[in-house]
Each structure stands twice: as structure tokens, then as C-alpha cells.
Structure 1
Amino acid sequence: MVLAAGLGKRMRPITTTTPKPLVSVGGAAMIDRLLDRLADAGVTDAVVNVHYLADLIETHLARRKGGPRIAISDERGKLLETGGGVVKALPLLGDAPFLLGNSDSMWIEGPVSNIRRLTEFWDPRRMDVLLLLAASASSTGYEGQGDFAMDATGRLRRRREREVTPFVYAGVAIFKPELFADAPDGAFSLNRQFDMALAKDRLYGLRLDGHWLHVGTPEGLREAEEVIARSHR
């Protein structure tokens, strides 16, 4: 599943007339960069949710060449946030664990597909959620204190108050659909599912091999384009 329903408020004025998933970075729309990553990793089918400027996203995806095949989860009537959006899309996703990516998740790839690495590391016997994590200190455009600390097995804990942790969620994960069985109606954040997995010591992470690009503001967009240009030299 690709989350593409957000309002992109921090990217204004760029997103006043262009939905954030369609903002071009280094010559390609952000959503295309993620969909290409998924296709390269062997993903054949994807669900994309839409809300803000939904017609533009649907038109763009209809014209897209190459995989994966795309089904639309329509949230025009009400924005459901990340967790509620997944719940609405579950009938399209099926009963097996599924990949989820934010449409603005971007990185410079290492020698091996990070999505493929994530699927190979996935172990449903130990994990309910597996997150792709980036190094908070060296990522482009990120100025926070990190999200998680990770032990040698990949098990995660959240950043404590006034603590700086080495890893930030890079916007790609694998989820068990069972975590949404008793989900509330309407809008809610996927942090609820993170915390459910944490409570059972079943929230894990895998460090991204490459360089993460946090494109949250117009300045972050400019920085990301500079990094991409340098990577092509």
C-alpha cells in the first residue's frame, strides 16, 4: 500500500495546486520513485489511497507505464490519516502481511534494494511490524532527535523524553493485518499499531542501506534535488 492522501501542508505553496505525491524531485514524481522501488523489488500489485487533489493523482497513475498494477482506495469523502487509511484499504490488501510506504519516502539506494532487504528480513514468528529505519544524524533534510533505538536483533524501543536516538522511521514498513482487527472507526495514526507491537516486543527495524531524503518542506526539496544530482555524477 502507498499512502498518498495527505494534504502536504508543510510543502506549501508548492502543494497548493499539486498534491505532494506528484511533486517532482530530480525529474520524477515522488510517488513514481516509490512505485518504481516497489516494482524493482518484485511487487506486482499496489493499493494507493487518495484524498487531496485526488483526480490529479488518479490521472497520473492511469498514465503511468510499468508495474505495479494499481488499485485506488478512495478517501475523498473523509481523510482517514495513516491508520484509518489502511483500515479502509484492507479489503483490497488481503489477509497476508503487506508492505506499506509513504508516497514521499525517498532514498539513494545502496547496492541492494532496501525493500527487498526488508522483505527478506521479515520474520512473522518474531515480528508484527517491521520498519525501515534511517540514520537520523546523516539523513538529508531531517533535523529531529530520532524516533527509535534498536538492539542487536533489530528489536525497537521509542525515544525517551530528552533523549536523542540514532534511527528515524523512513516511511516503509511491513505489517500484519491482524493488528487492525479492533481498530477504531475513522481517522487515526499508525502509531497505534506501532505501540501495539511494542507492547509485545514485536516491533522491529532494519537499517536502510543508502542515504535517506526527508522531503518535508520546500527547503528539504531543494536539498534532496542537490543530493540526487550529486549521486548521478
Structure 2
Amino acid sequence: MPKKTDTPNRAMVLAAGLGLRMRPLTLHMPKPLLSVGGKPMLDHALDRLAEAGVDTAVVNAHYKGEMIATHLKGRRKPKIVLSPEDTLLETGGGVKKALPHLGPEPFYVVNADILWLNGPSPALRRLAAHWRPEEMDALLLLMATTRAVGYDGRGDYHMDPLGRLTRRGEGEIAPFVFAGVQIVKPELWAGSPDGAFSTNILWDRAQEAGRLWGLAHDGPWFHVGTPEALQEAEELLALGGARSIWS
């Protein structure tokens, strides 16, 4: 049974990518500001975090970062702290730079190029309910590889019945792909490299210690990485008709 716990009140939103696969749409606009389902992807992520009780979100920015900064000026919930990157720091380095703003407690990290619809209960609150800090350094939201809209890879992880994760081997196909949402401890970055590096380094270390866990998402999920994937997401979201599919 998941252990009840307080929902993290801080979050990091990763919005610094170059959006190369999304060209030509990103020639004049950063990918997080592209609209899906009637509003920018970045706003979808921030709205979900606000609904989950997050009061402060750090948003990193690099490519066309001034447009992201301008877009976020009017937002009050959650409170926004910008973390501009003169040099692209990748996922791990970007979060490490922002750690002083994220505090000593576990926090959410959300990618800005994914969208999800909640299942029977909100995904962020499900993660918080399953979070066990005595056993976990990172808890990743996962999506079944065969049901991941806009994703054409071989998956990322195998998950045992308890939820512990093992990265797929070379040439394997894994049943789950990382869904771009996680709860992590700031201690995960202890001893991490300086400069640009991937969070994969930290996940592998947590896996070796038996402290990398997963939770399967129970609703629709969209990876919006290319113009074709963006169109597919729009078409599928439109099938919701008049009802508010983001509620």
C-alpha cells in the first residue's frame, strides 16, 4: 500500500531544450510555448503543479529564454523562479544549478515537452502518495511503451512487482518509458558532475543502490517532440469533444 505523505511544494520544470526535432515550428518560438489543446505546453505543466499544491516552480530556460521569461511574468500560481542557462546544462545539470531555489525537501521535476491526462486520481498526487523517502531517492512516473502517444523508441525500464526499476539492456525492448515526471531528493545530486550532464547518471546510481522506483501512469500520455507528434496529440485531444478533458 502507498504511504501517505505531504505533496512536494516545490518543483522544477525543464524548459531549456533546443527543440531541434520540432523545427520549423521552433525556429521562432521555444518548444515549451507551442500550443497543444488550447494553451502552451509549459502552462499545462505549471497548471498541473499548481493543482497539486506546488507553490514555487523553478523554470530553466536557454533557447529563446527571453520569450519564456516574458510569458511567465504574469503568473502567480505557482510562484515562478527563472533559472536561465547561458550554456545548456542538460537535465541533470539544469536541476543542479537550480537546487538553491528548490530547498532541502523532495521536489517534483517535470519535462515541458510532455502532456498527460489524469486517470482516476491526479498523477502528481499519486506520485506523492507512493513516495517513501526512507526507500527512494527517485520515483519516476512511467508510461506503458505500447500506449505512449508520439513515442517511437524501445522503452526505458523494466519494473518489478514492487516498483523497483532496472534500465533496459542494449538491444532490449522495455515495457515502460519514462513519462517526464518524477519526485526526487536533492541528495540525489550529491557528488554529481559540474556543468552539463544527464539525470540518467543519477538514476543509474540510484538503481545500483536499489533506490530507483517507478509508478505506472493510469491515464493517456503524449510525448510532443516533433510536428507530427504535435498534430497527433491535437487530433486525439480533440476527440474529447466539448467536455473539459484537462479537468
TM-score by length of 1: 0.96
Is 1:8 matched with 2:19? Answer: yes
Is 1:201 matched with 2:201? Answer: no
Matched-pair contact (CA < 8 Å) for 1:108–1:228 = no
Q: Take 1:232 and 1:101, find their aligned partners in 2: how far apart are those partners?
A: 27
Q: Take 2:230 and 2:142, find their aligned partners in 1: how far apart are those partners?
A: 20
Q: Which residues of structure 1 form unaligned runs of 5+?
A: none
Is 1:138 matched with 2:147? Answer: yes
Query: 1:130, CA displacement in angstroms?
Result: 0.4
Q: Which residue of 1 aligns with 2:192?
A: 183
What RMSD over aligned residues (CA atoms) do the two structures have, in Å?
1.0
Q: Which residue of the other structure, out of 161, 179, 182, is the alignment partner of 1:152?
A: 161
* CA deviation string 1:53-110 (max 9, x = no partner): 011001101133x5111111111x2111111111110110111111100111211221
Matched-pair contact (CA < 8 Å) for 1:4–1:103 = yes
Q: Which residue of the other structure, out of 57, 63, 71, is the alignment partner of 2:74?
A: 63
Alignment of 1:159-170 (within 5 A): 159-170=168-179
Query: 1:111, CA displacement in angstroms?
Result: 2.2
How many pairs align? 231
* CA deviation string 1:156-210 (max 9, x = no partner): 0011222211100000111111121211111000001111101101100001110
Structure 1 stretches of 4+ moved >3 Å? none
Q: Which residue of 2 aligns with 1:92?
A: 101
Q: Partner amino acid for 1:85? A: G
Match of 2:147, SS state, is coil
Q: Partner amino acid for 2:194? A: D
Q: Which residues of structure 2 form unaligned runs of 5+?
A: 1-11, 243-247
Q: Take 2:32 and 2:190, find their aligned partners in 1: how far apart are those partners?
A: 29
Q: Take 1:139 and 1:87, find their aligned partners in 2: how far apart are those partners?
A: 29
Query: 1:143, CA displacement in angstroms?
Result: 1.3
Match of 2:181, SS state, is strand
Q: Which residue of 1 aligns with 2:62?
A: 51
Aligned-residue sequence identity (percent) comes to: 58
Match of 1:133, SS state, is strand
Q: Take 1:141 and 1:105, find their aligned partners in 2: how far apart are those partners?
A: 10
Q: Take 1:28 and 1:211, find their aligned partners in 2: how far apart are those partners?
A: 18
* CA deviation string 1:89-143 (max 9, x = no partner): 0110111111100111211221211011001100011111100001110121111
Query: 1:227, CA displacement in angstroms?
Result: 1.1
TM-score by length of 2: 0.91
Match of 1:16, SS state, is coil
Query: 1:232, CA displacement in angstroms?
Result: 3.5
Q: Which residue of 1 aligns with 2:40?
A: 29
